[in-house]
């Protein structure tokens, strides 16, 4: 008996190639579709509201990470390094600190953006003021659970919208978003906004953090698409 394949090898390869092209271009169209409604909006600094390569979503997506303890009773935040008065806060002490509620946009390196997320917390600049940051400090290292770190230049870390947030959208910060407390650095890709925050360390020299040492950009400006190094 002679074996006769139902499809010739050449036909099989051609069909498989065509299928792959359809899937690839279909996916491409989906990924690069612009968010027309926001395309013309500008920020106060003249930059477009939505950075290039981003699509607008309506809610924050949980982006993983190794979860830290969500316990508010055991929470401690250390502010130290190149400061004159290092200190540590528990959750109630953090709440007693000067509180701010701010709307800010979130830009994730994976390509999504959420506009006008409402964060409540304490500004990093207010914590820095209490710690009396030395002139020798040039960078801030945000420290989080399981040794995660993210580095941000001091000037940007002390921006008016950069805060240590414990509420999102008026509700307590959820575990998936870094409960009990995360930092929010709105003008950089969101991996800089460390979840499950445990420390703010002021340093003289830059120290690339968890993702920065794994191929991600050291600075992470969404308008320059500083995604990877």
Partner 1 sequence: MSDAKPRTDAKPKRKKSRIRWRPWLRAMHRDIGYLAIGLTLVYALSGLAVNHIADWDPSFRQIDKTHQVKGPFPREEKARAQYVLDQLGRKQKPKEVFEISDTELEIVFEKRTLHVDTEQGEVLEEGQEPRFMLRAANWLHLNRGKKAWTWIADGYAVFLLFLALSGLFMIPGRKGLIGRGAVLAAVGAAVPIAYVVLSGGP
Segments of 54-196 assigned E as strands: 55-57, 76-81, 87-90, 100-107, 112-123, 139-144, 149-153, 163-168, 171-172, 182-184
Determine if 66 is a binding residue for partner 1 (CB under 8 A).
yes
Closest to partner 1 by CB, 67 vs 208, is 67
Q: Which residues contact 217 (CB under 8 A, 6 or more apart)?
A: 189, 226, 227, 228, 229
Determine if 168 is a binding residue for partner 1 (CB under 8 A).
no
Determine if 67 is a binding residue for partner 1 (CB under 8 A).
yes
Determine if 34 is a binding residue for partner 1 (CB under 8 A).
no
Distance CA 6, CA 14 (A): 15
Cis peptide bond N-terminal to 110, omega within 30: no
CB of 56 to partner 1, least distance (A): 12
Q: Which stretch binds partner 1 (CB under 8 A): 43-51, 116-124, 174-182, 195-203?
A: 174-182
Binding-site member from 26, 52, 62, 160 for partner 1 (CB under 8 A): 62
Binding-site member from 8, 14, 76, 92 for partner 1 (CB under 8 A): 92
CB burial string 178-188: b at 16+ within 10 A, e below: bbbbbbbbbbb
Determine if 208 is a binding residue for partner 1 (CB under 8 A).
no
Which residues sit at the interface with partner 1, rule CB under 8 A? 61-64, 66-67, 70-74, 91-92, 95, 108, 110-112, 146, 171-172, 174-176, 179, 228-229
């Amino acid at each position: 008996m002679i074996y006769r394949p139902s499809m010739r090898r050449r036909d099989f390869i051609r069909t498989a190639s065509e299928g792959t092209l359809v899937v690839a271009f279909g996916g491409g169209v989906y990924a690069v579709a612009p968010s027309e409604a926001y395309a013309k909006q500008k920020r106060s600094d003249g930059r477009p509201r939505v950075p290039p390569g981003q699509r607008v979503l309506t809610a924050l997506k949980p982006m993983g990470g190794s979860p830290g303890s969500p316990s508010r009773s055991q929470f401690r935040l250390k502010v130290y390094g190149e400061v004159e008065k290092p200190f540590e806060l528990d959750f109630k002490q953090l709440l007693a600190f000067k509180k701010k509620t701010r709307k800010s946009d979130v830009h994730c390196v994976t390509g999504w953006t959420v506009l006008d997320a409402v964060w409540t917390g304490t500004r990093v600049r207010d914590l820095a003021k209490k710690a009396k940051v030395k002139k020798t400090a040039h960078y801030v290292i945000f420290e989080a659970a399981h040794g995660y770190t993210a580095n941000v230049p001091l000037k940007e870390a002390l921006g008016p919208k950069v805060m240590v947030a414990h509420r999102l959208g008026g509700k307590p910060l959820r575990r998936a978003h870094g409960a009990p407390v995360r930092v929010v650095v709105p003008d950089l890709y969101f991996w800089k906004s460390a979840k499950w925050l445990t420390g703010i360390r002021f340093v003289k020299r830059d120290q690339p953090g968890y993702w920065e040492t794994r191929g991600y950009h050291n600075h992470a400006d969404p308008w320059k698409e500083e995604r990877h190094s």
